[in-house]
Amino acid sequence: MVATGDVLAGRGSPRRTDDGYVGVTGDADWAREVRRLADERGAVLLAHNYQLPEIQDVADHTGDSLALSRIAAESDAGTIVFCGVHFMAESAKILSPDKTVLIPDERAGCSLADSITAAQLREWKAQHPDAVVVSYVNTTAEVKAETDICCTSSNAVDVVNSIPADREVLFCPDQFLGAHVKRETGRENLHIWAGECHVHAGINGPELAERAAASPDADLFIHPECGCATSALYLAGEGTLPKDKVKILSTGGMLDAARETGATSVLVATEVGMLHQLRRAAPEIDFRAVNDRASCRYMKMITPAALLRCLREGADEVHVPADIAERARGSVERMIAIGKPGGGE
């Protein structure tokens, strides 16, 4: 009998391209070899909800980045393989400083995390010296280190409400999540950074209205990073869309809502990888993307070939300087202390 690894080797090996590693098919033989190598390394495999279906299916745990980082911190595994984008692997390292953290392709970045740097945040803070900095978990370790308290999309309103009303708040980096928080809290001293996720920003209001009009009985699950979130709430307020069908939700919140909704169809406004987990959670419901093109090329850089290479070679390891990690950990722990970290991003 030929070993699975030999079968894979006979069909090619990972090749590096600008869009990620290619040359390996995510089939049953691949999955068996991935699991064998993970066991050999004593590794726990984590996959974000936006990953390719085959990556999600082979992982030990699938979810949002904060939930996965907390699972990793509680795991007995000495190695964490984080199938997601780079800031997510950094977060896992921040919460598990003594563990080895690998990301299958270190080039998998994030347009939202890249929309503010630590230097830019320091400059902004200098303009508002008494303000409290609230940063979304979708930020780099360096930005978290300059942050007073982190938040997720599901607890951002609670975090901001925990801050005394007379204190200015600097909210970064996502302008659409910031607008949602400002709308929910009614806080006028909330200053919002003009950053965005290029995928979510591209899901617009007219597109949502058109899809909703074509499916009037469908529930609408909308991520607060989406450019269409404000439009959806406006249309609900005007009566164009039923208020009870418009739900602004984190990825974890979408899974909870999928299990509880009585709708037979749901339009989903977020990265299309989320559809795989939603369909697994509630296979009887017809889940459809508001925008079928809302696919993150960085998330999709974590290919079957990249994961196989990662486990074979121990690449790519993620490092966070100890002083940065300590300061960043404080901002995350202050968020967790408030409670309701919820469904992450």
CB atoms within 10 A of CB 312: 17
pLDDT in tens, the chain (345 residues): 334 454 565 456 899 999 899 999 999 999 999 999 999 999 999 999 999 999 999 999 999 888 888 888 899 999 999 999 999 999 999 999 999 999 999 999 999 999 999 999 999 999 999 999 999 999 999 999 999 999 988 889 999 999 999 999 999 999 999 998 998 999 999 999 999 999 999 998 888 889 988 999 999 999 988 988 777 776 666 667 778 888 989 898 999 999 999 999 999 999 999 999 999 999 999 999 999 999 999 999 999 999 999 999 999 999 999 999 999 999 998 888 875 555 556
- CA atoms within 13 A of residue 262's CA, in its CB half-sphere: 1
| Predicted structure pTM score | 0.90
Cis-peptide, bond into residue 6, ω within 30° of zero: no
- Partnered with residue 17 across adjacent β-strands are 20
**Alpha-carbon Rg of the chain, whole angstroms?**
20
- Distance, CA of 225 to CA of 201 (rounded, Å): 7
CB 320 within 8 A of CB 141: yes
| DSSP 3-state percent helix, strand, coil across the chain (nearest 5) | 45, 15, 40
| DSSP 8-state code for residue 243 | G
Sheet holding 132-136, edge to edge: 149-151, 132-136, 169-172, 190-192
The helix or strand, by DSSP H or E, that contains position 15, with its residue range, turns out to be strand 15-17
- Distance, CA of 138 to CA of 159 (rounded, Å): 15
- Distance, CA of 60 to CA of 49 (rounded, Å): 13
Nearest to 83 by CA among 111, 64, 99, 98: 64
Q: How far is CA 249 from the centre of its chain?
A: 13
For 139, the 3-state DSSP assignment is coil
For 341, the 3-state DSSP assignment is coil
pLDDT of 2 reads 36
Sequence-ordered list of residues with C-beta below 8 angstroms from that of 107, at least 6 positions apart, any chain: 20, 301
For 154, the 3-state DSSP assignment is coil
- Distance, CA of 294 to CA of 200 (rounded, Å): 7
pLDDT of 229 reads 79
